[in-house]
Structure 1
């Protein structure tokens, strides 16, 4: 299979010095609707990191970038040419970008990896594999399954309109062999005739978090 090129970057959203002049009026309005100073900081930082990174990649003025929302609810660059996806959990942000449709997810370890929650997330074969794990491994495994599925659903633009338990991502009970190897663990998913490939094992994932990216694989 031909390697798929994409990039990822992690951010400490709580540490970003926000310059609201970089944000659009709509973004500033969305920031203002957040209920607490911490949430406003994180939302503004997420917008700023997105603009600065894509501006760097495209060689464009970050404040000049325009975005639109697709019918699926997925944000895209109005000018096209580059796909991206943003995720954040707590104060950790993740941005992935590349030449094809993709989805990204970062999550803090699930605090209470209960059997009932696993039933909502996992397909039956996955649930049986998860239940067979030692209790000490179930938290990380369930979190990894969730990030893989969330990244996949975001990539195909369905959000949670497709229940996570109806898709299988497999192999989530194995930790990546080593950091810095995005191809250490991968999975595939097919949806409406399109093939998707997922990756995990990135440098920069903070302690206590898991992250995944899913990108359109094309034919073959």
Structure 2
């Protein structure tokens, strides 16, 4: 399993040419130039990274979605033994791409905000136990512990492919940034969760259905430079 770290300020000279018509149409709907740039950069890097695994030119990759709408590749892994699974998240100028050759995976990164969480948001996201835990935290710690908790929940929901079809407050992951296994119910697959290291001002997490088999962090810009 690889987790790729990407600086979205580095688009590369060919970024726009790598995207398909649907991606370009979505990019054009952004009002602000920085949002357009980050979207184009993230999706261009996603294509570069996945294309390197598959041995396919980035612009030739095709995507579809599973029954729950989770994006997936329309290609098989280059060695043919398993479908290549991936998930991407980006916030401000940083993106993370998680790639596996089997288990479903979810990743999330969020920039910290001093105004989080408001009472309504906390009540809609946190479980009863997490709300109690938040009340015992120092107020100045609320933004970091809340966003860290949110990234773990979001990564889990993305790995399961259910998005917001499952209420975040139904997941009890606690407010401590630690590796854990979440069992959602009898007969349901276990999900391993772990916080990811990231630059100051961000929180990030990784979730894998069925468990981790080792994680290698990659810097996309340096790895791509080495393959060019």
> When the two structures are superposed, what TM-score results if normalisation uses the length of structure 2?
0.81
Secondary structure at the counterpart of residue 9 of structure 2:
helix
Task: Name 1:200's counterpart in structure 2.
Answer: 195
Task: Name 1:61's counterpart in structure 2.
Answer: 57
Task: Name 1:211's counterpart in structure 2.
Answer: 204
Please, which runs of 5 or more residues in structure 1 have no aligned partner?
Answer: 1-5, 175-184
Secondary structure at the counterpart of residue 15 of structure 1:
coil
Equivalent of residue 45 in structure 2, options 32, 44, 49: 49
Shift of residue 153, structure 1, vs aligned partner: 0.7
The 1-side partners of 2:93 and 2:107 are apart by 16
Cα shift readout 1:22-81 (whole Å, capped 9, x = no counterpart): 111222222122222211111111110101111122332212211102221210011242
Task: Name 1:118's counterpart in structure 2.
Answer: 122
Secondary structure at the counterpart of residue 14 of structure 1:
coil
Residues 112 and 203 of structure 2 are in contact (CA less than 8 Å); yes or no, is this contact kept in structure 1?
yes
Residues 153 and 159 of structure 1 are in contact (CA less than 8 Å); yes or no, is this contact kept in structure 2?
yes
Residues 196 and 206 of structure 2 are in contact (CA less than 8 Å); yes or no, is this contact kept in structure 1?
no
Secondary structure at the counterpart of residue 206 of structure 1:
coil
Q: 1:84 to 1:132 in 2, by over 3 A?
A: same
Cα shift readout 1:61-120 (whole Å, capped 9, x = no counterpart): 212211102221210011242100011112221111112101110001133123332222
How large is the Cα RMSD of the aligned pairs? 1.7
Task: Name 2:144's counterpart in structure 1.
Answer: 140
Task: Name 1:13's counterpart in structure 2.
Answer: 8
2:134 counterpart of 1:102: no
Shift of residue 201, structure 1, vs aligned partner: 3.3
Residues 11 and 40 of structure 2 are in contact (CA less than 8 Å); yes or no, is this contact kept in structure 1?
no
Equivalent of residue 94 in structure 2, options 92, 95, 106: 92
Deviates more, 1:7-16 or 1:79-88: 7-16
Deviates more, 1:189-198 or 1:38-47: 189-198
The 2-side partners of 1:39 and 1:18 are apart by 18
Secondary structure at the counterpart of residue 173 of structure 1:
coil
Please, which runs of 5 or more residues in structure 2 have no aligned partner?
Answer: 77-82, 212-228
Equivalent of residue 160 in structure 1, options 161, 164, 173: 164
Shift of residue 125, structure 1, vs aligned partner: 0.8
The 1-side partners of 2:13 and 2:143 are apart by 34
Length, aligned pairs only: 200
Secondary structure at the counterpart of residue 168 of structure 1:
coil
Task: Name 1:33's counterpart in structure 2.
Answer: 29
Residues 18 and 48 of structure 1 are in contact (CA less than 8 Å); yes or no, is this contact kept in structure 2?
no
